[in-house]
């Protein structure tokens, strides 16, 4: 889930988002550039839903400054989406016929003439061109120049308790550009940033778990604590290791050898090499070989205070250590963004695609759908389609606030996990027993009750909801073809009679009460820094675990990339490839006991004893068949080998 230390973003519902755009995004085809004024092509979705007449506070000063990105549609946007679908669909004759990065750019990227024409138009409007890439032209200038370029007026609008700038009508581009412009971002200046989906302590202050612990599920029963659901309950595990996760998800002898996995987050941990090597040695994971872990980083970082840069160090550490623990033979490339803002995160994704740095990309960050504007959604979908054409698959954590009602007051999903072009990874509570035996999983959803003062009962058992796997039905993205016939109509039609995208697609361990042990250099109370370990969870764990399992599956395919996996994932639905996860697999209710340091470090500040119920995810339920907590389920022992080429 989003770190408790991350700044919350004010959000409003996007239920009124243009249905035309929603359908286009789900198909991967840019929305029609309908005529908005003579000689202009409308750039659909560039006027945000929150820029209403009621919220309008008047014109923005002509002298105010604007920085924007004009994303290029390329020479064949519809062809790009069609080819991305064809090479990803197991039923297509083009399945797996990927193009190289160079071939993709030559076939679908913007031409030099298109870039020159777009650049000339922007400069003639009085804007300064600050950067030109394969994907966009970045500009800066005053409001008057931006209004001239994009055929709209910029006004100030109330959004929550703050005021932001936005177009008063849909932006447009000259018709003479012949559709060379995909969209423009930056005309509104509301924050467009992501937070990491996890339950991480701040790495600049040490965090430790208090015991007692279980070494595997049920190994240490809390006999002196009150019953829950009519029985004594076990203490939470100290933190599963790679060996236990590999056994649970059917790794067998596969290691992900020679498969390339990329990880994106913001910033970069200065101690990742030491931490990852130390962790592997302590837990029996294979040692990293030369160049098996590398980083691709920007020249400069920005917005470090606003984004809480130090909070992202632990995110990178979790992602790297989880991938290596499950797929110790895979090569890992960490691609750090210059900030937590969408523009910079998009740059990281584009680096992977442009250089084909990996076939599998794990992403443990996101935001609520209400904060995702259609212009940014179009930019994200384009990079995902470019990746699909090359055989690159993107995996995004689904979020850690369940249906988001407790967090935002509005039922919604997270983004970019809502994209029809990515694999959204939900979360489970995992029970691995003695001898690394898989026992069961529930959907991840936690209710917490504290021990009563007399120690004889749990106060208001089962207690209040704290966190759970993100999921539900999108309000903005139409139902993709691969979900039809698998996702129940009651879910697909929840926000739209014609059907919308439902999240997630697949799931893995996420519950921090049945979590993964991670090792990281942290700052001790005396100011010194030292390596330490703690248990962690969140769909930030589930995403790299699934990415690692996909690396094992790619090895089983003889190294042939899986690419965008969703069509094949849904084609396997109902088979022995999946554990069909439900919320109460034992039929009696499930919970674990936890004793935590109040100060997060040692017993000097006291201890807090609680019971954590499993399988209680807000209004979302893990049921038999597809559900909006765990998707089609979690990988079973037959999953990895089901990808073998036949």
SS3 205: coil
**Block residue for tokens 């971002």:** 185
Mean pLDDT of all residues in 93-108: 97
pLDDT, one tens digit per residue, over 210-241 is 999 999 999 999 999 999 999 999 999 999 99
Distance CA 431, CA 449 (A): 21
Give residue limits of the domains in the chain. Answer: 19-74+110-190, 196-255+349-643
State residue 227's pLDDT score. 98
pLDDT at position 27 over 50: no
pLDDT at position 530 over 80: yes
Distance CA 264, CA 392 (A): 14
Distance CA 609, CA 345 (A): 39
Distance CA 408, CA 9 (A): 9
**Block residue for tokens 């042939």:** 560
Q: For residue 646, name the pLDDT band (cuts at 50, 70, 90).
A: low
State residue 527's pLDDT score. 85
Instruction: Tell me whether residue 300 is exposed, middle or buried, using C-beta atoms within 10 angstroms of its C-beta: 0 to 12, 13 to 18, 19 or more.
Output: exposed
First to last CA, the chain: 39
What is the reported pTM?
0.92
H or E element that contains 466: strand 464-468
Tell me, letter by letter, the H, E, C secondary structure of 307-345: HCHHHHHHHHHHHHHHHHHHCCCCEEEEEEECCCEHHHH
Mean pLDDT of all residues in 475-493: 97
State residue 204's pLDDT score. 62
pLDDT, one tens digit per residue, over 369-421 is 999 889 999 999 999 999 999 999 999 999 999 999 999 999 999 999 999 99
pLDDT at position 32 over 60: no
Do 257 and 558 touch, CB atoms closer than 8 A?
no
Mean pLDDT of all residues in 38-52: 91
Q: For residue 311, name the pLDDT band (cuts at 50, 70, 90).
A: confident
State residue 201's pLDDT score. 35
pLDDT at position 42 over 80: yes
Tell me, letter by letter, the H, E, C secondary structure of 522-583: EECCCCCEEEEEEEECCHHHHHHHHHHHHHHHHHHCCCCCCCCCHHHHHHCCCCCCEECCCC
pLDDT, one tens digit per residue, over 180-189 is 999 999 999 9
C-alpha pair distances (Å), 487 with each of 341, 395, 500, 505? 32, 19, 10, 10
SS3 278: helix
C-alpha pair distances (Å), 414 with each of 164, 235, 398, 408, 482? 22, 31, 6, 12, 20
Distance CA 609, CA 210 (A): 10
Closest CA to 381 of 412, 420, 410: 420
State residue 1's pLDDT score. 33
State residue 133's pLDDT score. 94
pLDDT at position 470 over 80: yes
DSSP character for 640? G
Q: Which two tokens stand for residue 26?
A: 């789900």
Mean pLDDT of all residues in 475-491: 97
pLDDT at position 156 over 60: yes
Q: Which two tokens stand for residue 240?
A: 């599963």
Cis peptide before 539 (omega within 30 of 0): no
pLDDT at position 619 over 80: yes
Distance CA 162, CA 464 (A): 31
State residue 193's pLDDT score. 73
The highest-level CATH class for domain 196-255+349-643 is alpha beta
Helix spans in 151-301 (H)? 242-248, 272-282
State residue 218's pLDDT score. 97
């Amino acid at each position: 889930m989003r770190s408790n230390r991350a700044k919350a973003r004010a959000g409003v519902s996007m239920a009124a988002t243009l249905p035309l755009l929603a359908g286009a995004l789900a198909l991967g085809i840019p929305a029609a550039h309908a005529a908005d004024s003579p000689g202009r092509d409308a750039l659909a979705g560039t006027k945000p839903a929150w820029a209403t007449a009621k919220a309008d506070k008047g014109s923005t000063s002509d002298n105010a400054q604007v920085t924007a990105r004009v994303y290029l549609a390329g020479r064949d946007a519809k062809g790009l989406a069609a080819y991305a679908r064809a090479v990803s669909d197991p039923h297509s004759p083009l399945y797996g016929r990927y193009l190289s990065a160079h071939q993709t750019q030559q076939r679908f990227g913007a031409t030099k003439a298109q870039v020159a024409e777009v650049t000339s138009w922007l400069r003639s409007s009085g804007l300064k061109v600050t950067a030109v890439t394969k994907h966009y032209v970045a500009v800066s200038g005053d409001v008057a120049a931006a209004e001239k370029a994009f055929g709209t007026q910029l006004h100030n609008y109330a959004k929550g308790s703050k005021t932001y700038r936005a177009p008063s009508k849909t932006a447009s581009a000259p018709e003479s550009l012949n559709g060379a412009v995909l969209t423009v971002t930056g005309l509104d200046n509301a924050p467009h940033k992501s937070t990491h989906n996890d339950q991480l302590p701040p790495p600049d202050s040490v965090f430790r778990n208090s015991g007692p612990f279980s070494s595997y599920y049920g190994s240490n029963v809390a006999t002196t604590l009150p019953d829950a659901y009519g029985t004594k309950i076990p203490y939470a595990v100290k933190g599963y290791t790679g060996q236990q996760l590999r056994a649970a998800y059917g790794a067998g002898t596969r290691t992900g050898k020679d498969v390339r996995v990329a990880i994106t987050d913001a910033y970069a941990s200065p101690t990742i090499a030491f931490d990852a090597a130390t962790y592997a040695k302590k837990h029996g994971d294979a040692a990293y070989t030369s160049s098996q872990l590398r980083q691709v980083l920007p020249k400069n970082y920005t917005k470090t205070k606003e984004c809480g840069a130090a909070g992202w160090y632990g995110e990178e550490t979790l992602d790297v250590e989880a991938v290596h623990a499950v797929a110790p033979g895979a090569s890992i490339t960490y691609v750090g963004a210059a900030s937590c803002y969408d523009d910079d995160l998009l740059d990281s994704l584009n680096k992977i695609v442009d250089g084909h740095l990996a076939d599998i990309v794990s992403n443990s960050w996101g935001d609520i759908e209400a904060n995702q504007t259609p212009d940014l959604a179009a930019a994200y979908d384009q990079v995902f389609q470019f990746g699909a054409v090359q055989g690159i698959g993107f995996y995004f954590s689904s979020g850690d606030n369940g249906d988001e009602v407790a967090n935002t007051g509005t039922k919604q999903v997270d983004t970019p996990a809502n994209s029809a072009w990515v694999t959204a990874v939900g979360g489970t509570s995992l029970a691995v027993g003695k001898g690394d035996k898989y026992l069961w999983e529930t959907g991840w959803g936690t209710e917490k009750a504290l021990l009563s003062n007399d120690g004889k009962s749990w106060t208001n058992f089962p207690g209040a909801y704290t966190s759970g796997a993100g999921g539900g039905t999108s309000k903005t993205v139409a139902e993709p073809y691969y979900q039809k016939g698998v996702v129940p109509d009651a879910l697909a039609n929840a926000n739209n009679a014609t059907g919308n995208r439902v999240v997630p697609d697949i799931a893995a361990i996420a519950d921090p009460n049945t979590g993964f042990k991670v090792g990281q250099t942290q700052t001790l109370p005396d100011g010194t820094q030292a390596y330490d370990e703690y248990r962690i969870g969140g769909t930030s764990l589930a995403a790299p675990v699934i990415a690692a399992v996909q690396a094992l599956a790619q090895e089983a395919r003889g190294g042939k990339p899986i690419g965008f996996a969703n069509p094949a994932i849904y084609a396997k639905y109902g088979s022995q490839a999946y554990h069909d996860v439900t919320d109460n697999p034992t039929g009696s209710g499930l919970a674990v006991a936890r004793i935590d340091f109040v100060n997060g470090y040692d017993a000097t500040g006291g201890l807090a004893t609680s019971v954590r119920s499993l399988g209680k995810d807000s209004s979302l339920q893990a049921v038999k068949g597809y559900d909006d907590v765990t998707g089609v389920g979690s990988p079973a022992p037959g999953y990895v080998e089901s990808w073998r080429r036949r």
